[in-house]
Amino acid sequence: MRRAAARRKRLSRPSGYIHPDGQGGCKQLMDIGTGYFGHVALTAGTVRGSALLDPVLEIELQIRADGLAPGVAAMIVTSCHVQGPKLTAGLGKAETIITQLGFASYEGGGKPYATSEFARWRLTQTGVEQLERVRGGGNLTLYVTPEVVLLNHGEPVPGAYPPPEGAIRPNVSRHSPIRSTGQERLDVPAETWAHQVLTPWQQAAAVTLVVKLPEAAATDDHRTVIRELTDARQRLDKGDWKGSIRASRDAVEVLRAMHDEHLSPKKQRDVSQREAAILDAERQLIQSLFDYGSATHPDPALRGTAWNREHAMLALATATAVAQRLFSAAAA
């Protein structure tokens, strides 16, 4: 089961904008004109955590600029609003970023310029706990809103890009800097958040399990296991806990049948037979989890049992680990 990366999505409709205070609004995209040919664009990229003294949440801002006069510098102030399955929270303003975007020809100017900076939010332990309450153990959506402020107009190159006679240079005011705001949406899967944020914060230990079909030895049973584990994972992401556990149970049923070793008395068991006994115990655990919440459970008092993500993760992780071991043995 491969770990997915954060997915970036530019919000192109005003209805999709989420203001940091939670109110909807209309904002232009993160492109600004700084003259007849000047252009700056920002996109949100990697999400990661770091911890020196306090936890720090970092979001990469990929910056592309072109046509700016030498010496032009920009200040970037970024806000972020996070949304979980049920709750939302605002992170406020990140640390201010100051960066140069316009360069002379001897500095490599005269062509598109690309760089990246990280917007950083320093969090307290209370802030980390609030983020985890919002996430609720699942995926997290980040709405990233940078504000770009050009601090100067640089040194115009004589004779370059002359304005039409009598025209006023666009987007320039003697009394205020040029600024632009926009928003992008980052969808961060739970696994990516655990690996790239919680682990550096020492708030979690994340392990990735990859189940690969054995080369030259794959059977229909192997493919069935892959299909059922994929179904279990998809149902987990959709919040279908009982359906996810059912799919994990079906995968383990196939895995159990792949061990055709007969279990002999305990004192005579070899290593492979002992592994079969472990597999049987794991299957019984998953079967018990499924039976406990099944609507066909013989005990009417248990039919209304509420499943949660942790139950489904236990079933899926156990089934995945068993599949990984058996598939590796088949490929050996």
pLDDT score, position 136? 86
Residues 228, 234, 239, 240, CA torsion sign: negative
Question: Domain boundaries in the chain?
Answer: 7-192, 220-331
pLDDT score, position 95? 94
Beta bridge partners of 185: 9, 143
pLDDT score, position 50? 86
Domain 220-331: CATH class, spelled out: mainly alpha
Q: What DSSP string runs through 27-71?
A: ---SEEE-SSS-EEEEEEEEEEEEESSSEEEEEEEEEEEESPPTT
pLDDT score, position 245? 84
pLDDT score, position 197? 92
Three-state secondary-structure class, residue 69: coil
Residue 258 CA to residue 249 CA, distance in Å, equals 14
In tens digits, the chain (332 residues) has pLDDT values of 444 456 555 444 333 444 444 444 333 334 444 444 567 788 888 888 887 778 999 999 999 888 777 888 889 999 999 999 889 999 999 999 999 988 887 787 778 889 999 999 999 989 999 999 999 888 899 999 998 888 877 766 565 555 566 655 544 444 445 566 678 899 998 888 988 999 898 887 767 778 888 887 788 888 999 999 999 888 887 878 888 888 888 888 888 777 554 334 455 556 766 766 776 776 676 667 566 555 435 556 555 667 777 888 888 888 888 888 778 776 66
Q: What is the DSSP letter of 164?
A: P
Q: What DSSP string runs through 204-224?
A: ---------PPTTT--HHHHH
Residue 216 tokens, joined? 């030259």
Cβ neighbour number for residue 47 with a 10 Å cutoff: 23
Asked if residues 116 and 60 have their Cβ atoms less than 8 Å apart, the reply is yes
Question: Domain 7-192 adopts which CATH fold?
Answer: Immunoglobulin-like (2.60.40)
Residues 186, 192, 198, 202, CA torsion sign: negative
What is the identity of the amino acid at 301?
A
